[in-house]
């Protein structure tokens, strides 16, 4: 949310705390606002929104009992399969007769670039939160080397998690890329992305940021549902999801590259059905396929145009 011009105030609460602390938070919120929205079908979100205002609008999951509507003045039914998450959130605007605005607003920390970047560059974000969204180390190294061969500096981004930093450092050592994992906040990462020539990443938050920043973006998808979670292309003004359940495609500045297999997308946690599991559809995705997609998103060089 950093630097978002649409926000006047941001109230941050801890992810976990005691009942007494929660009660204090609710008292501080009590009827401070005229209108509140709970934007996910969560009891905790509904409780905060109910306390914050006299009029509360929210979402009700398909399998939730209607008694929960007592916390809301009006609600929309939440669809977790066939409706894109951007489209889903925008349905709340209909409840108050506000025109839908399908623009994803990235954060900003001011726009400066790290001093190590001295030429046109591409950003790779290789490490998702879960194994089942992972591509291969060999694939990332081959991609980085191919982009360097086209004259681009390659920058690796990642969180400060020790495993993620170590992974990016190994890729940097093998490929010659610049590793910035653990050095940038999410808002600083968005500033970096705005000035990049290309982004490649898995199904993770930074891939959505890249798409919203308007740069050419290649998203690697395996088990995840692209209809629901495919990156929203910058400037898209159509409300429906741009993506189909099965198949790779390009819309606007985003190329969604889906792994192959009759089971794709399974919408499950990898082939072994747990968070540490791997997904064959991504582990077997050839580096040549990703390289071709990435190079195809780049603007042709002056030498290529002269041919």
> Over the stretch 220-230, which tens digit does the pLDDT of each residue have?
999 999 999 99
- Three-state DSSP at 275 gives coil
> Which residues of the chain does CATH 3.40.50.2000 include?
121-298
Output the pLDDT for position 301.
52
Q: Are 235 and 252 in contact (CB under 8 A)?
A: yes
Distance, CA of 91 to CA of 168 (rounded, Å): 39
Output the pLDDT for position 300.
64
Output the pLDDT for position 64.
86
Helices (H), 30-103: 43-52, 85-94
Largest Cα–Cα distance in the chain? Answer: 71
Topology classification of domain 121-298:
Rossmann fold (3.40.50)
Q: pLDDT tens string for the chain (307 positions)?
A: 999 999 999 998 888 889 999 999 999 999 999 999 999 999 999 999 999 999 999 999 988 888 888 889 999 999 999 999 999 999 999 999 999 999 999 999 988 899 999 899 999 999 999 999 999 999 999 999 999 999 999 999 999 999 999 999 999 999 999 999 999 999 999 999 999 999 999 999 999 999 999 999 999 999 999 999 999 999 999 999 999 999 999 999 999 999 999 999 999 999 999 989 999 999 999 999 999 999 999 976 544 444 5
What percent of the chain is helix, strand and coil (3-state, nearest 5)? Answer: 35, 15, 50
Q: In sequence order, what are the beta bridge partners of 120?
A: none
Residue 59 backbone dihedrals phi, psi, to 5 degrees: -125, 145
Encoded tokens for 69: 């509507």
Please tell me the pTM assigned to this model: 0.92
Q: Are 253 and 217 in contact (CB under 8 A)?
A: yes
The model's pLDDT over 34-66, given as tens digits with 9 standing for 90+, comes to 999 999 999 999 999 999 999 999 999 988 888
- Measured in residues, the chain has a length of 307
């Amino acid at each position: 949310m950093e630097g978002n011009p649409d926000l006047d105030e941001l109230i941050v609460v801890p992810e976990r705390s005691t009942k007494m602390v929660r009660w204090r938070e609710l008292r501080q919120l009590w009827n401070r606002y005229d209108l509140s929205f709970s934007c996910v079908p969560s009891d905790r979100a509904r409780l905060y929104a109910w306390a914050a205002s006299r009029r509360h609008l929210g979402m009700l999951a398909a399998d939730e009992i209607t008694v929960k509507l007592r916390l809301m003045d009006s609600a929309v039914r939440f669809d977790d399969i066939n409706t894109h998450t951007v489209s889903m959130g925008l349905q709340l605007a209909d409840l108050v007769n506000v025109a839908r605005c399908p623009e994803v607003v990235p954060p900003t920390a001011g726009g400066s670039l790290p001093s190590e970047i001295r030429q046109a560059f591409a950003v790779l974000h290789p490490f998702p939160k879960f194994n089942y969204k992972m591509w291969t180390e060999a694939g990332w190294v081959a991609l980085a080397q191919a982009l360097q061969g086209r004259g681009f500096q390659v920058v690796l981004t990642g969180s400060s998690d020790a495993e993620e930093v170590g992974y990016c450092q190994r890729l940097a050592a093998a490929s010659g890329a610049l590793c910035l994992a653990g050095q940038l906040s999410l808002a600083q990462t968005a500033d970096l992305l705005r000035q990049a020539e290309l982004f490649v990443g898995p199904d993770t938050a930074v891939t959505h940021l890249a798409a919203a920043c308007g740069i050419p973006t290649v998203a690697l998808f395996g088990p995840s549902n692209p209809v629901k979670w495919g990156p929203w292309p910058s400037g898209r003004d159509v409300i429906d999801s741009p993506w189909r359940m099965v198949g790779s495609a390009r819309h606007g500045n985003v190329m969604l590259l889906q792994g192959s297999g009759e089971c794709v997308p399974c919408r499950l946690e990898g082939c072994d059905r747990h968070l540490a599991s791997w997904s064959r559809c991504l582990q077997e995705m050839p580096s040549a396929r990703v390289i071709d997609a990435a190079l195809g998103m780049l603007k042709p060089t002056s030498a290529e145009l002269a041919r």
